[in-house]
């Protein structure tokens, strides 16, 4: 099946719009979000279809920005067969060669939460995820679905980072990464994406989905370092030309 062919007609699904709220990425802007009906189960077939149309997952919800008069959020993905790491990324691979990686189901783990809470308090105390809580973590990063997974990064048994990701028929979708804030030199956020690319290549999956890229948002600039990169325009994925 072509990676651009949805599994089922999405017009059979129900969607809802949120009320306008403050944009999390661009100061002074309002955002509106399109959600799949919460009564719909985010099963594999529905998720595969909607991911091709730019939807993302947060907990059990599938969503996409739907802002009037604004199209700043651009869905991007890496075609893994064409990806070639740059010199900095090759250096990161060598720097983190001492880490062991393991995949687990997306279930609650106190060790994971402790690292997550420390990460949020240290790196995102000014964001809408602060202060962290057990309920917030469970709602955001745990899900009882076979496609939902957590990738652990350990150094001699000590947990350094966790990446939440989903296994789609046409790729891996990076959900969120949190890591030990004292390990800045390892650039674990970037290394997590490189690890997902490696995993997709080993599993013969064509893409790694990175969520939304916003040209004006400095925090998202790192996504352009993965080349080539594809962007969703309408219902077609096309090569994104680096700026």
Domains and CATH numbers, the chain: 10-73 (no CATH), 76-240 (3.40.630.30)
pLDDT of residue 10: 58
pLDDT of residue 8: 47
pLDDT above 90 covers a percentage of the chain that reads 80
Predicted confidence band at 6 (pLDDT cuts at 50, 70, 90)?
very low
Q: What are phi and psi of 11, to 5 degrees?
A: -70, -10
Lowest-confidence segment of 23-27, 93-97, 145-149, 164-168 by average pLDDT: 23-27
What is the mean pLDDT of the segment spanning 180-205? 97
pLDDT above 70 covers a percentage of the chain that reads 95
Is the pTM of the predicted complex or chain greater than 0.95?
no
**What one-character DSSP code corresponds to residue 86?**
-
CA 89 to chain centre: 19
State the Cα–Cα distance between residues 117 and 18, nearest whole angstrom.
28
State the Cα–Cα distance between residues 183 and 21, nearest whole angstrom.
34
At CA 147, angle to CA 137 and CA 168, rounded to 5? 120
Q: What contacts 99, CB < 8 A, 6 or more positions away?
A: 153, 154, 155, 160
Alpha helices (runs of H) in 165-239, residue ranges in sequence order: 188-202
């Amino acid at each position: 099946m072509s990676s651009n062919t949805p599994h089922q007609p999405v017009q059979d699904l129900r969607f809802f719009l949120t009320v306008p709220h403050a944009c999390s990425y661009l100061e002074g802007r309002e955002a509106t979000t399109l959600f799949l009906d919460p009564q719909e189960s985010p099963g594999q077939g529905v998720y595969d279809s909607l991911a091709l149309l730019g939807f993302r997952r947060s907990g059990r919800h599938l969503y996409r920005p739907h802002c009037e008069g604004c199209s700043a959020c651009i869905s991007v993905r890496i075609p893994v067969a064409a990806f070639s790491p740059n010199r900095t990324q090759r250096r990161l691979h060598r720097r983190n060669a001492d880490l062991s990686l393991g995949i687990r189901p997306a279930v609650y783990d106190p060790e994971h939460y402790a690292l997550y809470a420390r990460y949020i308090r240290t790196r995102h105390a000014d964001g809408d995820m602060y202060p962290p809580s057990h309920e917030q973590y469970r709602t955001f990063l745990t899900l009882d679905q076979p496609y939902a997974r957590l990738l652990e990064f350990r150094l001699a048994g000590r947990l350094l980072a966790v990446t939440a990701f989903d296994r789609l028929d046409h790729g891996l979708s990076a959900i969120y990464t949190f890591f030990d804030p004292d390990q800045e030199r390892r650039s674990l956020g970037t290394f997590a994406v490189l690890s997902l690319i490696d995993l997709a290549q080993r599993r013969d999956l064509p893409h790694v989905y990175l969520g939304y890229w916003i040209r004006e948002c400095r925090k998202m600039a790192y996504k352009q370092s993965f080349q080539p990169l594809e962007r969703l325009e309408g219902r077609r994925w096309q090569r994104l030309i680096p700026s």
